[in-house]
């Protein structure tokens, strides 16, 4: 029986996400065996705090490169829009709720960010969330909180420092912690990160066998939304060291993309929305192309036209924001963040 080796980080959430993808693959390919290997990611932890998300995935990519694993499951928002040579995202699974959620300290259960007392401290490790929420909820103080989901919840519950913390709804749901979600933030309060709520399967770009194997996991609507989002971020030259956020929706053959950039304190921002006519395609068999990657993603079983249209939408919106002065806001945010 052929064995497919899957790499994952050691965190509980990473393992849950990997297990869910492997369960789907097992159901699709009962004749294959799947083996999961856990990698600590320890040596990369300090690097990650600088804000370079791509460095967090290095250890797993090293295992992919050395042929120790065949595929790696990631939160798509952690994967850079330009992958190192030799790698590609071979599947983007159906997106879960992409919005951010507020988890309150037990003594504030039943509150919302609006009704928290003056000067309450809210924890978030994300510049994107802090910039948007500071602007909206000026009576609150936003402070950095580090660690995985378990660590952050423990800090919230056991220490008296934080009144609430902001986390991705999808992560809380995957962990089975639905009951801790006190408030879900809507796009007008806080737009989400590029790719948030979706899982990406990273593989070797030249491994056609594995690409074919995981390609069936592509969810066409999620794929097109995420191509638009990633193209927007890439064209802005944003990364996780600057506050960039998006919101996408697919309705009646139209893909709507809203994107924004913020100064670190949220006082300055530029946002806009564009749309393009894109019909969500059914999967189909497609011949190989010379360079099938778009923003790091390979989806040969989805028609090329809608993918290109989604990418062009992202680039067009980025150009619109750049023409309105987004580069200056991002440059200043980057300099300030690098100075810390």
Is 291 marked active-site?
Answer: no
Q: In this structure, what token pair is assigned to residue 10?
A: 């050691």
- The β-bridge relationship of strands 71-75 and 87-92 is unpaired
Q: Are 200 and 89 in contact (CB under 8 A)?
A: yes
Radius of gyration of the chain (CA): 20
Q: Which residues, 6+ apart, have CB-to-CB distance to 27 below 8 Å?
A: none
Angstrom distances, CA of residue 154 to CA of 8, 169, 224, 264, 340: 23, 17, 37, 27, 26
H or E segment to which residue 59 belongs: helix 58-65
Burial zone of 194 (CB within 10 Å; 0-12 exposed, 13-18 middle, 19+ buried):
buried
Q: How far apart are alpha carbons 158 and 296 in whole angstroms?
A: 41
Q: Residue 272: which residues within 8 A CB-CB, separation 6 or more? A: 258, 259, 260, 317, 320, 321, 324
3-class state of residue 109 by DSSP:
coil
- Residue 65: partners with Cβ closer than 8 Å, 6 or more residues away: 86, 87, 204
Structure tokens at 264: 């670190």
Exactly one of 78, 100, 207, 219 is catalytic; which is it? 78
Give the residue numbers marked as catalytic. 78
């Amino acid at each position: 029986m052929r064995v497919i080796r899957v790499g994952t980080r050691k965190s509980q959430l990473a393992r849950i996400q990997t297990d869910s993808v492997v369960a789907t693959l097992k159901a699709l390919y009962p004749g294959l065996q799947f083996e999961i290997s856990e990698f600590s990611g320890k040596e990369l932890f300090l690097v990650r705090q600088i804000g370079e998300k791509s460095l967090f995935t290095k250890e797993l990519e090293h295992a992919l490169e050395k042929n120790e694993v065949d595929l790696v499951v990631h939160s798509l928002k952690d994967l850079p829009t330009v992958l190192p040579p030799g790698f590609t995202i071979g599947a983007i699974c159906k997106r879960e709720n992409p919005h951010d959620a507020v988890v309150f300290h037990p003594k504030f259960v039943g509150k919302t960010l609006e009704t928290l007392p003056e000067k309450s401290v809210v924890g978030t490790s994300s510049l994107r969330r802090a910039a948007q929420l500071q602007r909206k909820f000026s009576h609150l103080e936003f402070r950095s909180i580090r660690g995985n989901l378990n660590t952050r919840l423990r800090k919230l519950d056991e220490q008296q420092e934080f009144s609430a913390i902001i986390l991705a709804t999808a992560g809380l749901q995957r962990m089975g912690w639905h009951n801790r979600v006190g408030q879900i933030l809507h796009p007008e309060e806080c737009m989400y990160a590029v790719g948030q709520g979706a899982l990406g399967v990273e593989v070797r770009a030249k491994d056609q066998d594995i690409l074919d194997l995981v390609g069936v996991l592509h969810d066409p609507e999620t794929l097109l939304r995420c191509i638009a989002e990633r193209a927007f971020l890439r064209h802005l030259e944003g990364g996780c060291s600057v506050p960039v956020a998006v919101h996408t929706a697919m309705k009646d053959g139209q893909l709507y993309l809203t994107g924004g950039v913020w100064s670190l304190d949220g006082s300055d921002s530029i946002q806009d929305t564009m749309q393009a006519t894109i019909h969500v395609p059914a999967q189909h068999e497609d011949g190989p192309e010379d360079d099938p990657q778009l923003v790091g993603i390979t989806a040969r079983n989805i028609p090329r036209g809608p993918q290109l249209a989604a990418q062009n939408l992202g680039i067009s919106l980025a150009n619109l924001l750049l023409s309105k002065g987004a580069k200056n806001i991002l440059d200043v945010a980057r300099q300030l963040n690098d100075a810390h």
